[in-house]
Amino acid sequence: MNKVGLTNLNTNRLELRIPTINEQHRLWEILINENVNALYFPTPDRIFNKYNLNRTNIEDLKKAREIFTEQLSDWERQEPFYKQKIDSIMNEDDVNRFTWSIFLKGTDIVIGQITCQPKDDMPEDIRDVGWYIDPNYQGQGFATEAAEAVLDYMFNVVDILEIQTSAASINPASWKIMERLGFKYIGEKPSTYFSGDEILNVKEYYGNKELFLNRPKKNRS
């Protein structure tokens, strides 16, 4: 794996920029939309641990989610975390280094974020990829376009080994993107996502450079 710095990436319609504090409040506004965070952001482990909640109990899942969304909705509480994240990116801390703010090309309109971060207890050349897009810009292929640029950079420049990622089973918008990127479906496992009184699975996917480069041409932007 190459120790390279973060750089801006460009696509036909997007600019993936090194994050600054300037756009973080807008990204937070996008993220607190329940239609975004309910599928992008699983409830953090720290919530279950702090309040002694069970991940397999639907009532505990609901309580944990309520606590998390209440914390997330408070900008004054969240702002220090955003500032800390920007500082870690500037210091090339690998936990946050490969994070980009997604802008419409030639504008200062930020529409989302994409990351390619280490997985817990895994070597640093095995990564997870994730993104969120402003609902006003969903369904237009922007997530696929951003993900292709990031994976091209991560496989060909950073030289990571593989991607291991997942998406909620009721979020086909995300897992179909993974399939378009050439990822292989591995299976499903329980998650902290839920719908009503039903605990949902996540679909797990695996990808590497060969799979990405040999994805069907019709799937390429």
Element (H, E) at 66: helix 58-72
pLDDT tens profile 7-63: 999 999 999 999 999 999 999 999 999 889 887 788 999 999 999 999 999 999 999
Query: Is 2 a member of any domain?
Result: no
Query: What CATH number is attached to the domain comprising 45?
Result: 3.40.630.30
Structure tokens that stand for 179 in this block = 């399939």
Query: Is 192 a member of any domain?
Result: no
Query: Is 157 a member of any domain?
Result: yes
Q: Give the mean model confidence (pLDDT) for residues 185-203.
A: 93
Q: Give the mean model confidence (pLDDT) for residues 93-115.
A: 92
Query: Is 41 a member of any domain?
Result: yes
Sheet holding 162-168, edge to edge: 9-10, 14-17, 99-104, 110-118, 126-133, 162-168, 198-208, 184-195
Other beta carbons within 10 Å of 59: 10
Residue holding tokens 């993900």? Answer: 147
pLDDT tens profile 146-179: 999 999 999 999 999 999 999 998 899 899 999 9
Using pLDDT thresholds of 50, 70 and 90, give the confidence band for residue 216.
confident
pLDDT tens profile 59-102: 999 999 999 999 999 999 999 999 999 999 988 877 678 999 99
Q: Is the pTM of this model over 0.85?
A: yes
Q: What is the pLDDT of residue 220?
A: 65
Q: What is the pLDDT of residue 204?
A: 96
Q: Count of domains in the chain?
A: 1
Using pLDDT thresholds of 50, 70 and 90, give the confidence band for residue 221.
low
Q: Give the mean model confidence (pLDDT) for residues 199-204.
A: 94
Position 83: which residue type?
A: K
The overall average pLDDT reported for the chain is 93
Element (H, E) at 191: strand 184-195
Q: What is the pLDDT of residue 85?
A: 92
- Which of 169-173, 187-191, 216-220 shows the highest mean pLDDT? 187-191
Query: Is 175 a member of any domain?
Result: no
Query: Is 113 a member of any domain?
Result: yes
* Rounded Cα gap, residues 78 and 194, in angstroms: 24
* Rounded Cα gap, residues 72 and 14, in angstroms: 27
Structure tokens that stand for 187 in this block = 């299976």
Domain that holds residue 136: 9-163
